[in-house]
Amino acid sequence: MKLDNLNLSGDWHADLAILEKFSRDMSAYRILPALVIEPKNEEDVLRSLQFARNEGLSIVSRSGGSDLSGASIGPGIILNFKKYLNRIVAVGEESIVQPGTILDHFVRQLPAYNLMLPAVPSSSALCALGGNVGTRSTGPRTAKYGTIDAFVTSLKFITARGEVVDTSQSLPDDLAAGLYRIRQKFLGDKLSRGIVERRPFIAGGYNLKAFTQYTDMRELATHLLVGSIGTLGLVTEIRLKLIKQRPSKGTLVAHFRDYAELAEAVVRLKALEPAALEYSDASCAELVNGKILNLEDPVIIGTLVAEFDASTEQAQQGREIIETYDISRLWNIRTGSPKEAALWEDRRRIQLSLLKYCREKNLLLTPVIDDIAIHLKDIGQVLQELEELMKRLGHEVSFYGHPGFGSIHARPYFDPSKGNLAAQIETVSKEAFKIVHKYNGTLVGEHNAGRSRSVYLEKELGAAYTYLREIKELFDPEDLLNPGTLFDTAPICTHMDFKVR
């Protein structure tokens, strides 16, 4: 590589120690990049893109590096936005941020403006807004307010050809014409439209539902880039429309003893339109052992958290529903109370608690079926079938997530002492997909596609899959941007690191 030709304002790194650092994200994958570039401005991004093309290298955009499916690593150039392109340009109902902005740094400013961004995941202290947009991120309040896609108004991005595009202004003629052509084809394709409409709310891959939601090609481009994991363009600026803060009017925490009752309660509570509806199983409560999430009663099978922000009457209706079941305990948590803070702290600690348990037991917590999206009516049956699958295969497992929008994190523990880890992981992945697919669900959900998930997209989408290919061909015909994460993915254990961390 002729690195002297880069001529950057920012930094570049080719030394092994830095390359090793950027060979990992929070997934199980490890791929050593050829080069890490930390751009200071848009011109640096353009020069990096041209350098990648000249050297025959792929380019992966990265912000917080908290991705769970290996979508922020790759063998070519890692474009790290976190160091310099991390400014909060404007805060208000119309906010502007750069992709390297850590989400917590942004949301902490919003109370002063009486504003909120509801799509805040529990990893907000680590993740950055570029990654949030790239994965179409969610949070507990997605149950009522939608994913981050609902709050993105426009983007500034650089195409694989090196064009700077501001979707609030205009698109290059060929991009606008191509999107119009694909949209018209999709609208006339009854079979593919039916497949897409039957998918769960947060199903991943490119957002094909955008073809029926937007008629302006600038808006369509914006909402195809959201959730595209950096495969369609390099986002350099994000514009968000925020909403007024809506404080909680009451939060209920119920410890259930019976799976069927819990599943029925989820459906009934969802009908009240709660701001958040969260779930964690007994193993999570045992490992967190928090102030709210704990195992006071040994027969607890899971905990539901329902937050309401419309009225105190809405919260009371939720309480009346929960009280019809044989619950172990019901907490009624006041807004702003220490118990409210303790509850959400317990929730944030779930994944860290599972990782701690794995280190102590020399187990792997490989994120392989941690992103299931299903229809709400099927949540009880899917949970039970997945639990039976894990028992049959001999794996401990923890379940938690967001039933308010059909999301389940299934975290099986893999034991190196039981033999071939790749075979264990591949079997769990394939068998879990069979269960989820039977209910028109997907393994490509909340954190979107990536090396551990995209392999199932073609089978899942059937005839509609061709539209993903056409979109990619339009935006990035040379497959320069983040290859191997959405299309032509290798078997899921390729590049996996089987070390206990």
**Phi, psi (rounded to 5 degrees) for 34:** -80, -30
In tens, the pLDDT along 175-207 reads: 999 999 999 999 999 999 999 999 999 999 999
**Edge-to-edge strands, sheet with 35-38:** 11-13, 35-38, 77-80, 59-62
Pair (75, 147) in one structural domain: no
46, 161: one domain: no
pLDDT of residue 109: 97
How many Cα atoms within 13 Å fall on the side-chain side of residue 391? 6
Inter-residue contact 33 to 44 (CB < 8 Å): no
Which amino acid is residue 109, in one-letter code?
A: Q
Q: Do 236 and 313 sit in the same domain of this protein?
A: no
The pLDDT assigned to 42 comes to 97
Q: How confident is the model at residue 280 (pLDDT cuts 50, 70, 90)?
A: very high
Same domain, 238 and 278: no
With a pLDDT cut of 90, the percent of the chain lying above it is 90
Would you state the pLDDT for residue 6?
86
Domain edge (last residue) among 228, 244, 260: 244
- Position 49 in a domain: yes
Closest to 258 in 3D by CA, of 324, 326, 305: 326
Q: Contact, 255 vs 331, CB < 8 A?
A: no
Using alpha carbons, list the distances in angstroms from residue 294 to 9, 182, 285, 304: 51, 51, 5, 12
Domain membership flag for residue 486: no
What digits encode the pLDDT tens for the residues 25-76?
A: 999 999 999 999 999 999 999 999 999 999 999 999 999 999 989 999 999 9
Asked whether residue 132 falls in the same domain as residue 278, the answer is no
273 part of a folded domain: yes
Please compute the mean of the pLDDT values over residues 290-313 and round it to a whole number.
91
- Alpha carbon of 426 to those of 396, 495, 496, 500: distances in Å? 16, 13, 12, 18
Closest residue by Cα to residue 444 from 367, 340, 372, 355: 372
Structural domain includes residue 468: no
Cα–Cα distance for residue pair 136/421, rounded to 1 Å: 30
pLDDT score for 294 = 86
| Mean pLDDT of the 293-318 span | 92
pLDDT digits (tens, 9 = 90+) for 334-361: 988 999 999 999 998 999 999 999 999 9
Residue 301 and residue 404 in one domain: yes
On whether both 236 and 299 belong to a single domain, the answer is: no
Please report the pLDDT score of residue 111 as a whole number: 96
Q: pLDDT, tens digit, for every residue of 410-436?
A: 999 999 999 899 999 999 999 999 999
Q: How confident is the model at residue 3 (pLDDT cuts 50, 70, 90)?
A: confident
* Greatest pairwise CA separation for the chain in angstroms: 71
CATH code at 95?
A: 3.30.465.10
Interval 465-490 mean pLDDT: 97
Q: In this structure, are 189 and 260 located in the same domain?
A: no
| Pair (159, 61) in one structural domain | no
Report how far residue 387's alpha carbon sits from residue 379's, in angstroms, rounded to the nearest whole number: 12
Q: For position 295, what pLDDT does the model report?
A: 82
For residue 500, pLDDT over 70 is answered with no
> What are the tens digits of pLDDT across the range 219-271?
999 999 999 999 999 999 999 999 999 999 999 999 999 988 999 999 999 99
Q: For position 330, what pLDDT does the model report?
A: 93
Chain mean pLDDT for the chain: 95
403, 427: one domain = yes
Expressed as residue numbers, the domain containing 410 is: 250-438
Query: 244, 267, 291: which is the final residue of a domain?
Result: 244
Q: Indicate if 281 and 429 belong to the same structural domain.
A: yes
Contact 151, 169 (CB under 8 A): no
Domain of 19, CATH number, reads 3.30.43.10
Please check whether residue 492 lies inside any domain of the structure.
no
Q: How many domains does the chain have?
A: 3
Work out the average pLDDT over 457-467. Answer: 96
105, 221: one domain:
yes
Return d(Cα 481, Cα 492) in angstroms, integer: 20
- Distances 65 to 124, 260, 493 between C-alpha atoms, Å: 12, 38, 20
Helix then strand count (H, E) for the chain reads 18, 18
What integer pLDDT is reported at residue 501 of this predicted model? Answer: 63
| Axis-axis angle for helices 312-322, 259-270 (nearest 10) | 160
- Flag whether 288 is in a domain: yes
Cβ-based neighbours of 289, under 8 Å, separated by 6 or more: 295, 353
* Cβ atoms of 451 and 130 closer than 8 Å: no
Token pair in block for residue 182: 């694909």
Q: Checking DSSP bridges between strand 88-90 and strand 94-97, what pairing results, if any?
A: antiparallel
Mean pLDDT over residues 168-178, rounded?
98
pLDDT at position 157 over 90 = yes
Flag whether 259 is in a domain.
yes
Examine residue 447 and state whether it is found in any structural domain, yes or no. no
> How would you label 456-480 residue by residue, b for 16+ Cβ within 10 Å and e otherwise?
bbbebbeebbbbbebbbebbbeeeb
CATH number at residue 286: 3.40.462.10
Q: To 10 degrees, what angle do helices 173-187 and 465-475 make?
A: 170
Domain end among 80, 99, 132: 80
Q: Above 90 in pLDDT, residue 448?
A: no
Residue 299's pLDDT is 85
